[in-house]
Structure 1
Amino acid sequence: MEYVKEYTVKPEHIDVQNIMDGLYYPFYMEYCRHDFIKDVLGFSLEEEAQKGINMVLSQYTIQFVRSLKRDDKFTVTCQLMADGSGKPQIHFEQKIMLNNKVVTKAVFTGTCVPATGGRPFLPEAIKEKLKDAPVLNA
C-alpha cells in the first residue's frame, strides 16, 4: 500500500540558487512517514515514547533526481517494506514526486528500542503489518 501526502514548498526553504535546499527533502519525507506510522501502522510515536518505546532510524539512503522550486506543489509517498535478513527492522521506501516525475527517492530504515536501553525489537502489531509487506531488495 502506497501512502501519499501533498505539500507545497515553503519560501523559507529556498536557497540562493532559487531551488529548495537539499536539507529539507528528508524533512518532508519525515512528515509523511510519521503520518504513515500513525495512520497505517497504528503506532503513535508520542504515546509509545511515553510507554518507554522509541522508534528510531538506523540509516537512510537518498537520491536527488530533480530540484523543487518556490511554491511547487508536490507529493510524498511512503510504502512499508519488510527486511529479508530477519533483523528487527522496517524499511520505508519513499519518493517525492512533482508532475508525476520522481524528484527524490529514499529508503529509511528503522527499529524500536526501549527508552531505558536494550536490544532493538519490533512490536507484535508492526510485525503483523510486515507479513503482507513486500521485501526490500537490498
Structure 2
Amino acid sequence: MEYSKIYTVKEEHIDVQGIMDGLYYPFYMEYCRHDYIREVLGFDFAEEAAKGIHMVLSQYTIKFLRSLKKDDEFTVTCELFADAAGQPRLHFKQSIILNGKVMTTAVFTGTCVAATGGRPYLPTGMTDKLVDAPKLDVATLK
C-alpha cells in the first residue's frame, strides 16, 4: 500500500541557487513516514517512547534526480517493506514527486530498541502488519 502526503516548499528551505537545499528532502520524507507509521502502523512515537520503546533509523540511501523550487507543491510517497533476510527491520521506499516527475527517491531502514539498550526488535503489533508486506533486500535494493 502506497501512502502519500502533499507539501509545499517553504521559502526558508531555498538556498542561494534558488533551489531547495538537499538537507530538507529527508525532512519532508520523515514527516510523511512518521504520519504513515502513526496512522497506518499504529505506532505513536511519543506513546511508545513513554513505554521505553524507541523506533530509530539504522540507515538510508537517497538519490537526488531533480531540484524543487520555492512554492513547489509536491507529493511525498511512502511504502512499507519487510526485510528479505528476516531481520527485525522495516524498510520504507519513498519518493518526492512534482507534476508527475520523480524528483528524489530514498529507502529508509528502521527498527526498534529498548530505551534501556539491547538488541533491535519489532514489537508484536508491528510484526503482524508485516506479514503481507512485500520484502526488500537493502543490499541490492530489490
Fold match (TM-score > 0.5): yes
TM-score under structure 1 normalisation?
0.99
Q: Distance in 2 between matches of 1:45 and 1:80?
A: 17
CA RMSD, 1 decimal: 0.6
Give 1:14's aligned residue. 14
Q: Deviations over 1:23-52 (max 9, x none)?
A: 000000000000000000000011000000
Give 1:3's aligned residue. 3
Please report how far the alpha carbon of residue 2 of structure 1 lies from its aligned counterpart in structure 2 after TM superposition: 0.4
Q: Distance in 1 between matches of 2:54 and 2:133?
A: 22
SS in 2 for 1:37: helix
Q: Deviations over 1:69-125 (max 9, x none)?
A: 000000000000010111110100000000011000000000000001011000111
Q: Distance in 2 between matches of 1:133 and 1:103?
A: 25
Give 1:85's aligned residue. 85
Give 2:132's aligned residue. 132
Q: Distance in 2 between matches of 1:124 and 1:81?
A: 16
SS in 2 for 1:12: helix
Runs of 5+ consecutive residues of structure 1 not aligned to the other structure: none
Give 1:59's aligned residue. 59
Specify the code of the residue in structure 2 equivalent to 1:13. H
SS in 1 for 2:97: strand
Q: Distance in 1 between matches of 2:97 and 2:129?
A: 25
SS in 1 for 2:135: coil
Q: What pairs up with 1:23-102 in 2 under 5 angstroms?
A: 23-102=23-102
Count of aligned residue pairs for this structure pair: 138
Q: What pairs up with 1:110-125 in 2 under 5 angstroms?
A: 110-125=110-125
Specify the code of the residue in structure 2 equivalent to 1:43. F
Q: Distance in 2 between matches of 1:126 and 1:94?
A: 19
Runs of 5+ consecutive residues of structure 2 not aligned to the other structure: none
Q: Distance in 1 between matches of 2:130 and 2:65?
A: 29
Q: Distance in 2 between matches of 1:34 and 1:104?
A: 18
